Amino acid sequence: MRNRNALRACALAGIVAAAAPAHAARAAPDGACAGFYGAGFELVAGKVVKPWTAPPKPARGVAAADPGFGTCVVRVTDHAADGMPGFARNDYSRRQAFNADSTRQLVYADGGRWHLYDADHRHLGALPGPAGDAEPQWHPSDPGVLHYLPNRGVGMRVLRLDVVTGATVAVGELGGRLRARWPGAHAAWTGSEGSPSADGRYWCFMVDSAGSGGLGLATWDLATDTVTGLLDLDGQRPDHVSMSPSGQHCVASNPRGQVVAHSRDFASRRQVAAVGTHSDIGLDAGGDDVYVSIDFQSGGGDVFMVNLRTGVRAALFPTYLDGTYTSVHFSAKSFDRPGWFVMSAYGEATVSPPYRQQWLHRRVTVVQMAPDPEVYSLAETRARAAGYWSQPHASVNRDLTKVAWTSNWGADTDTDVDVYLVQIPAEAVGGPPPPPARVVAGFAAAASGLAVSFADASSGAPTAWRWDFGDGNTSTARNRDYAYAAGGTYAVCLTATNADSGDVACRSVAVAP
């Protein structure tokens, strides 16, 4: 069996020395926001208009109270001092800026390098490897690991980077398999705007030719390194694609407007929306995949959601208010607190002067996934519309306690921008956080001769694994390619644990020469 886990050494540009061991997930505010909130703090609820304020730009790493909402706001980056002369920004609303336990934060710099910051807002340096449209995706449970692609998916590989040790490994070599279907295949990526499933297992890619022509869509299982579905595009290249959090749907947003949710094997499809704009896909309170977007063609410029399982659409609220309109982005990656998403608004204007400020304008807001939703204001973005790089692109962490966004702090520029952070207590939205999910162990085994690919399929976010291969040998790797010395049937067991729970799964695995 070919070895997919050969490591190559990477320089760490100072990151190894600064990186700390993995921590347990933090419920209380940390970094500059530690101790900021008193007992009984409550977010400002409802669609409340508060006049914009103009406080001076804060120093990096210092907690400041948002004047309108009383939340803890921190300037994370100082791009000039950190060696980023162009800009430092939060990459995109659909990209998870924060790692599994929110102790690391990704920042994108002018020139295409990806930088790492810690929970105390210290600059740890530029990451080795990812560059340009590399689409870095944090591992869902290991805070020291992320996956990324070559720039714009050229080469059709998926790479795993350990940000603590600097080790990089290719976990998916898709080129040969995709060229077998499309001989002209040159790149596999999401269009720089997509994400894998919430557990990091299932991915959806659009496959391009060397001339950026759309050839097809492909879904891939990282745990088993298996292509699970292929679909010819017939010239209809999407703008971007994304896997739904459950891993059941590959959602393609097409340039002619139509948004389609395909089943993972492409055997079925459902039209989600006639037009897709700045959308994201999250989990509702019942665990269903929900597509969230804005409909500029509706009479009210409605923010809406669609349940991908049932196809039911619900309008949440209008954005065309008192003759005004605004652009918005959505971030629905708070998978540990399902039923909510974050919205950041920018570029407001009016069709009937004078302009009158509305409740959502230039604001980071948390919205419930429900008709007539609960709404909580987190902070002003202070992002003046001055080109693409000045858009806030607010992005939420997995437990809905941190939101990062980009701001020029009211200046008329899209290059002198930095990353800001608002941090809130874990119970501020939706009450106390749910208890940690109990680990349920499980695994897949694919045999070829005496060799077997073992892939963890446990739920409940385990952080440690122990394999017993039934022949006296063991391993603590999460996934393992293993070769038996002789044919037979072996009792294989996987023990999966985290800080709160553990479980064991056993099954018989038969191999033959």
Which has the higher per-residue pLDDT, 385 or 28? 385
pLDDT tens-digit map of 462-474: 889 999 999 999 9
> pLDDT at residue 10 above 70?
no
Instruction: Please spell the DSSP secondary structure of 71-111, one letter per residue.
Output: -EEEE---TTTTT-SS-EE---TTS--B-TTSSEEEEEETT
Q: Identify the structural domains of the chain with CATH numbers, from first to last.
A: 443-511 (2.60.40.10)
CB burial string 185-209: b at 16+ within 10 A, e below? bbbbbbbbbbbbbbbbbbbbbbbbe
pLDDT tens-digit map of 96-118: 999 999 999 999 999 999 999 99
The mean-pLDDT minimum among 2-6, 84-88, 162-166 falls in 2-6
**HSE (side-chain half, CA atoms, 13 Å) at 277:** 15
> pLDDT at residue 172 above 90?
yes
The reported pTM is 0.83
Q: What is the mean pLDDT of residues 476-484?
A: 92
> pLDDT at residue 460 above 90?
no
> pLDDT at residue 25 above 60?
no
> pLDDT at residue 255 above 80?
no
> pLDDT at residue 2 above 90?
no
Q: What's the angle, vertex CA 163, arms to CA 341 and CA 123, rounded to 5?
A: 75
Rounding to the nearest 10 degrees, give the CA dihedral for residues 290, 296, 297, 302.
60
Average pLDDT of the chain to the nearest whole number:
91
pLDDT of residue 234: 78
CA distances to 199, 218, 227, 249, 281 from 222, rounded to whole Å, are: 10, 13, 9, 16, 20
